[in-house]
Structure 1
Amino acid sequence: MKITLLGTGGSAGLPQIGGADGRGDWGKTDPNEPRNRRSRASIVIHADHGRNILVDTGPDLRYQLTGCGIGRIDAVLYTHAHADHVAGLDDVRILNRILGTPMPAYATEEVWEELRQRFAYAFKPWNGGFFGRPVLERNEIVPGKVFDIAGTDILPLDQDHGYSRSLGLRIDDLAYCTDVVRFDKEALAALRGIRIFIVDCFTPASDHPTHAGLATVLAWVEALRPQRTILTHMGPAMDYRTLTDTLPRGIEPGYDGMEILV
């Protein structure tokens, strides 16, 4: 199995809109380091049987997939319904055309209701023919209950995202846990034994109200002891080179387009 990090940035991406010349606000990061250019957080799971599972459909989806050379998606999984994770849903219509069928999609009941309210046109009855809009095949999942998606078993974990909830994902000995500020005892227990940990780390300082800071991530790593930890959903104070020079051994910043062999 392989994981591609499509995007590793926060909800505003990097650079953010603005800057002295209007060409982007890089915060405390070096604009000359290409790995500081970050789109919104998303991954593709390349399963052993050749199927591609897309996790979240953020607003940068089109150029993420084309930039990484991924031309087909076989299923979509949503971690939560925040705009930076769902606003690219309309591009699923192109994926429908490539697949030739409604897109198998997986989310909790709460996320399905949010999507239905915000993208009502995508939920109208489909009677075959041309995919002029996205068409999703609804599959409801429950935190803590393993489910099969495109032939891959995934354990969804309930996560504290500050003012809301999100899903972390455990796939064998890998975990993808974006958009989390705290794990409860049950979630930490479910993460025991992971070898690769892809985890939210928005700031090098204290926790953001909805995202973990570096000290919290280091505490999780100490408790879980993964062999490799890769940071994602990084904010404008997370400079790639500074992180690579200062992080403890076994912990590294991710970057858009990064491929991880599992």
Structure 2
Amino acid sequence: MDAAGNVAVNGSPAKGAAAASALIFLGTGCSSAVPNAMCLIQPTNPPCHVCHQSMSLPPERNPNYRCNTSLLIDYCSSDGGEHSYILIDVGKTFREQVLRWFTYHKIPRVDSIILTHEHADAVLGLDDIRAVQPHSPINDIDPTPIYLTQHSMDSLAVKFPYLVEKKLKEGQEVRRVTQLDWRIIENDSKKPFVASGLEFVPLPVMHGEDYVSLGFLFGERSKVAYISDVSRFLPVTENYISKSGDHQLDLLILDTLYRKGSHNTHFCFPQSLDAVKKLQPKRVLFIGMTHEFDHHKDNEFLAEWSRREGIQVELAHDGLRIPIDL
């Protein structure tokens, strides 16, 4: 880890090194984000330490302030060419994430978008993608490719009809809106796809027993799995990303909602740690946390857990940048 909090995976260079790929955590919080609004408008006695502390520090020194879960992949191919910027999920807090972290990490644009599912905390920032696209009052720009399942496509056609329609009706005014090139993917690990030069393998998982969400496996030299919304692993997915199965992961980025107990649609801390023991990745970063998690205190607990279990596990935080050899 360098002075700015950047952590290398598999010996990758620290921040600033030439032609390195990196993972940037734009958001690591739950759907309602942190601080929890109720902790501020109806404070308890004593007040919620995490929520009040999260409002007292600037973002670069504030790991308990958490926007909706989202990952930006700054991908540089092995030939050291141009960087591509691949965004996984565009939630309700996307504009804030652009203002905080695109500026801080000097991210100039978004080249591709991948959606895990169509819930609000993964898609309701799609309208704001126009803020990171070239300006054209008549929408005369190349659309940004967006990869999603047919189920998500059907849902977004209802949520955002003006982002899906391509032909103007008679008498309809041209309005400047986000330009997207919708590309359907399968929830099948045997059907990978390529976004901005990087291959992704879909990892279907249960997000509640009535709903399938997607995680994604990517990286050739470093295997990374990103699984943001999960309550149960399907056997095929568990086998695909486990040390005893097809791939031992260099890095697992995994959902953990509450500090204690369980939840019907998300892993919580106990289930997340059990999953880590089963999968045996080399390193783990948890995401999706509520205000029950105190970043520093819980990472102290995880440091001891990691020493005992032999797997490096930590809570991620908004703005975290990890150089990585993909």
TM bucket normalised to smaller:
over 0.9
Conserved in 1, the CA contact under 8 Å of 2:29 and 2:68? yes
Summarize deviations over 1:155-198 as a string: whole Å, max 9, x none: 01111001422100101311110011110210111112111011
Matching residue of 1:40: 68
Matching residue of 2:118: 81
User: Does residue 221 of structure 1 match 2:221?
Assistant: no
Ranges in structure 2 where 5+ consecutive residues have no aligned partner: 1-20, 55-61, 78-82, 169-173, 243-247, 307-311
- Rounded Cα–Cα distance in structure 1 between residues aligned with 2:250 and 2:154: 34
Matching residue of 1:234: 289
Pair 1:216–1:260, CA change in 2 (3 A): same
The residue identity in structure 2 corresponding to 1:218 is L
Matching residue of 1:110: 151
Residue 22 of structure 1: how far off its partner (Å): 5.9
Matching residue of 1:18: 38
Matching residue of 2:313: 251
Residue 138 of structure 1: how far off its partner (Å): 1.1
Pair 1:137–1:194, CA change in 2 (3 A): same
SS of 1:51's partner is strand
SS of 1:154's partner is strand
- Rounded Cα–Cα distance in structure 1 between residues aligned with 2:268 and 2:155: 28
Residue 48 of structure 1: how far off its partner (Å): 1.4
Residue 27 of structure 1: how far off its partner (Å): 4.8
Summarize deviations over 1:191-238 as a string: whole Å, max 9, x none: 121110110001121221111011211111112211211010001211
- Rounded Cα–Cα distance in structure 1 between residues aligned with 2:234 and 2:225: 16
User: Does residue 175 of structure 1 match 2:228?
Assistant: no
Summarize deviations over 1:99-150 as a string: whole Å, max 9, x none: 94111110000001100011001112168xx870112101110122111111
Equivalence map 1:100-139=2 (5 Å):
100-125=141-166, 132-139=176-183
- Rounded Cα–Cα distance in structure 2 between residues aligned with 1:81 and 1:30: 27
Residue 152 of structure 1: how far off its partner (Å): 0.3
SS of 1:104's partner is strand
- Rounded Cα–Cα distance in structure 1 between residues aligned with 2:28 and 2:237: 22
- Rounded Cα–Cα distance in structure 1 between residues aligned with 2:23 and 2:129: 20
Matching residue of 1:5: 25
Matching residue of 1:155: 201
Identity, % of aligned pairs? 28
The residue identity in structure 2 corresponding to 1:146 is P
| TM-score under structure 2 length normalisation | 0.75
Which structure has the greater CA radius of gyration? Answer: 2
Conserved in 2, the CA contact under 8 Å of 1:159 and 1:165? yes
- Rounded Cα–Cα distance in structure 2 between residues aligned with 1:200 and 1:98: 36
SS of 2:162's partner is helix
Matching residue of 1:52: 85
